[in-house]
Structure 1
Amino acid sequence: MIDESVATTQTPVRAAEFFAGIGLVREALEPLGVQVVWANDIEKAKRDAYAANHDASHFLLDDVRKVTAENLPADIELATSSFPCVDLSLAGNRLGLVGSQSGMFWEFARILEEMRKQRPRAVLLENVHGFATSHGGKDLSDALTRLSELGYSCDVIAVDARHFVPQSRPRMFILGIRGGVVPGAQTGIPPVSDVRPEWVQRVHARHQHLAMHYLPLPRLPEGPHDLSGVVERMDTSDPRWWGPDRVAAFVESMSPLQTARLQALRDSEGISWRTAYRRTRNRVSMWELRRDDIGGCLRTTGGGSSKQALVELGKGEVRVRWMTPLEYARMMGAGSYKLTAGTPNQALFGFGDAVVVDVIKWIGQHYLLPVLRPQVVLQAA
């Protein structure tokens, strides 16, 4: 691991944050010596949350389709892009990169092309695993081809946030590097590892005709096993807990298997927590508890199964309520984030649409800094 005190004594890495949202990429990378000097998003509520936690004087609130290279400051070394996943997600419409949301990748690529000689040394793209299978893999191939045309050698990795926070949130990352050999990088097909499972290995294998590389990475940490560090403790009389009738309807909507799971936890001597989603099975709305003790993937709060409930069980009791903005923040590795901007629902939306701080920080420590500041790695070793 890189010593952050060493990293911050070096010349900062100047970064641009596309699709910045509420600023969790910046939250992750700035302690490592990365200086975000430009950010962009189209949603004012997200910009307001960003401004409540970071200097937003450089934040451009506008449609990325209106952004040109002239809007960015000079000497950008790193560009990050968490472009929308709506059209790539298995839970979405699967329009892929021709969709109006996920198609924003092409706007990011357009701006990179316009930057020409000022093009960043590194790019970091984040999206769902569905990106790899969208249109039979063609969308990912098209994206990797475009980045290769722009001079980037690409690496693909996959990280589930459960290695850092109690949330199952699998995401894939494309790391593009230009302007020379990456220190320690290798070419060819990478061995299978926790960040490069077989499906990622196949992505590398299918694209050997492009500029591709892989950087050996350490094993991911084990991660927390339950929600105890996330749950916001509140008295049983707190009005946010659902009333008896609503809890009864919640339980009655469950399948026999789900009911048995709930009853076993309810009758245990200790207190435990589970998250639950509302699902539609055979056109019937039902509640389902997660099998394990961590949370499901947080999503934007748009109705249906998108909103996650917290269930407290044990000592013969069942209590249910919606998860709070603070719990969302903790599950995204941003428990100290100020939640003063916007409504509670806007906070849930912002966190559900963001990156996990600890994941980005890990990538920054073990990948971005070794590429962009190799001398820091040598000093900290």
Structure 2
Amino acid sequence: MVEESAGVAQPAIRAAEFFAGIGLVRQALEPLGVQVVWANDIERAKRDAYAANHDASHFELADIRSVSASHLPRRIELATSSFPCVDLSLAGNRLGLVGSQSGMFWQFARILEELGEQRPRIVFLENVRGFATSHGGQDLADALTRLSQLGYSCDVFTVDARHFVPQSRPRMFIVGIRGALPVGAKAEVPPLSTVRPAWVQRVHARHQNLGMHYLPLPDLPEGPQDLSSVVEQMDSSDPRWWDHDKTAALVDSLSPVQTARMEALRGGPALSWRTAYRRTRNGVAVWELRRDAIGGCLRTTGGGSSKQALVELGRGEVRVRWMTPLEYARLMGAGSYKLTGGTPNQALFGFGDAVVVDVVRWIGQHYLLPALHWQRQPQAA
């Protein structure tokens, strides 16, 4: 694989994809000239989905605790790590980096250390924004300190996927760079922007002793305002629509404000869509309809309360069903992904636990690729 840059053919950027899941990081970066030469995950169902869409000959299906640096091929320039968020999420147990799942960050750092001078020039980490507040910010401080010890100057920023797809999915990203920083990078606290709001500023200010930097990024696009590009059209007689009793139970559990909102949409002349989650309020299970017309943050399916329902309203009707794997795929910017093998819930789990393709591709275009190409220049050696 060779990419073109200013009319000159360049070797593809060699990357390792840690916690690869179903391979959406690869889906995002491969068209930019990144070649994933090694990937790892522990979940067989995710590996199978990965293999249905990518060459998986390099995929190591294993617990990362059993992986050593010797397993990786040489000359890796970029390592990506979407390590588990369960212990960091506000919806999780908040055990932080001592938790059995989010604590896998330390295994990623261990492998980087084992690589020694062969460790990649750039690391790219993705996780929930709760990482920044876990244990009062100490977990993020510990992670940034460890990356600094490994020779990386780090940048922290945030992107909400709603700027690219109709899904509210705010995530935090860390880019660590070894060696020369790319042109335009500044070793100071960044100004306020959509990708570096006040809380990101505070992270940078608190950790300037670690030699952090920031790279200016362009404004984010506005993003779609409704679910019309996502909804899988199906006839009103399709058995996936809920029956009268189940639909009535959802409607009856709505608050008066949400009921009024739903009735206004139901009386409209055209079809519109809202998403809904089941919540527990004061010990009672209720449904909550999103105020806006985009999807809520997709989650890893572990039961009914973690699955997102689609509510179709208009022309005097209200219909409800679970969102489909195809709709999940579209909300993750992966509508062309092959949904072969496995159960529908496994597909929902894989997408709910993944990155949004459009977000990672935007970061690749505006940050990772410029930085990686800068690293290849003689003055960066």
**Which TM bucket (shorter chain)?**
over 0.9
Shift in CA distance, 153/36, structure 1 to aligned 2, threshold 3 Å = same
The equivalent residue for 2:331 is 331
The equivalent residue for 1:146 is 146
Answer yes or no: is the 8 Å Cα contact 1:8–1:32 preserved in 2: no
**Counterpart residue type for residue 96 of structure 1:** G
The equivalent residue for 1:33 is 33
Shift in CA distance, 247/334, structure 1 to aligned 2, threshold 3 Å = same
Match status 1:114 vs 2:102: no
**Counterpart residue type for residue 207 of structure 1:** H
Match status 1:260 vs 2:260: yes
Listed as ranges, the matches of 1:210-359 within 5 Å are: 210-359=210-359
Q: Distance in 2 between matches of 1:240 and 1:305?
A: 18
How far off is 1:255 after superposition?
Answer: 1.6
1:44-85 Cα offsets, whole Å, 9 max, x none, are: 000000000000000000000000000000000000000000
Give the match's secondary structure for 2:215. Answer: coil
The equivalent residue for 1:54 is 54
Q: Distance in 1 between matches of 2:140 and 2:376?
A: 33
Q: Distance in 2 between matches of 1:6 and 1:260?
A: 57
Answer yes or no: is the 8 Å Cα contact 2:181–2:371 preserved in 1: no
How far off is 1:182 after superposition?
Answer: 2.2
Answer yes or no: is the 8 Å Cα contact 2:121–2:375 preserved in 1: no
Count of aligned pairs: 375
Shift in CA distance, 80/208, structure 1 to aligned 2, threshold 3 Å = same
Give the match's secondary structure for 1:249. Answer: helix
The equivalent residue for 2:202 is 202
How far off is 1:6 after superposition?
Answer: 6.1
Q: Distance in 2 between matches of 1:249 and 1:4?
A: 57
Match status 1:190 vs 2:190: yes
How far off is 1:5 after superposition?
Answer: 7.9
Answer yes or no: is the 8 Å Cα contact 1:10–1:33 preserved in 2: no
Match status 1:98 vs 2:101: no
Give the match's secondary structure for 1:176. Answer: strand
Give the match's secondary structure for 2:286. Answer: strand
How far off is 1:187 after superposition?
Answer: 1.1
Q: Distance in 1 between matches of 2:306 and 2:8?
A: 39
**Counterpart residue type for residue 261 of structure 1:** R
How far off is 1:305 after superposition?
Answer: 2.5
Q: Which runs of 5+ in 1 are unaligned?
A: none
Q: Distance in 1 between matches of 2:219 and 2:259?
A: 37
Task: Single out whichever of 368-377 and 281-290 deviates more from structure 2.
Answer: 368-377
Cα root mean square deviation, aligned: 1.6
Q: Distance in 2 between matches of 1:242 and 1:325?
A: 17
How far off is 1:248 after superposition?
Answer: 1.0
Give the match's secondary structure for 1:162. Answer: helix
Q: Distance in 2 between matches of 1:4 and 1:18?
A: 27
**Counterpart residue type for residue 226 of structure 2:** D
Shift in CA distance, 9/346, structure 1 to aligned 2, threshold 3 Å = farther
How far off is 1:374 after superposition?
Answer: 3.8
Task: Single out whichever of 8-17 and 204-213 deviates more from structure 2.
Answer: 8-17
**Counterpart residue type for residue 37 of structure 1:** V
Q: Distance in 2 between matches of 1:187 and 1:234?
A: 53
How far off is 1:4 after superposition?
Answer: 7.9
Q: Which runs of 5+ in 2 are unaligned?
A: none
How far off is 1:365 after superposition?
Answer: 0.3
**Counterpart residue type for residue 264 of structure 1:** A
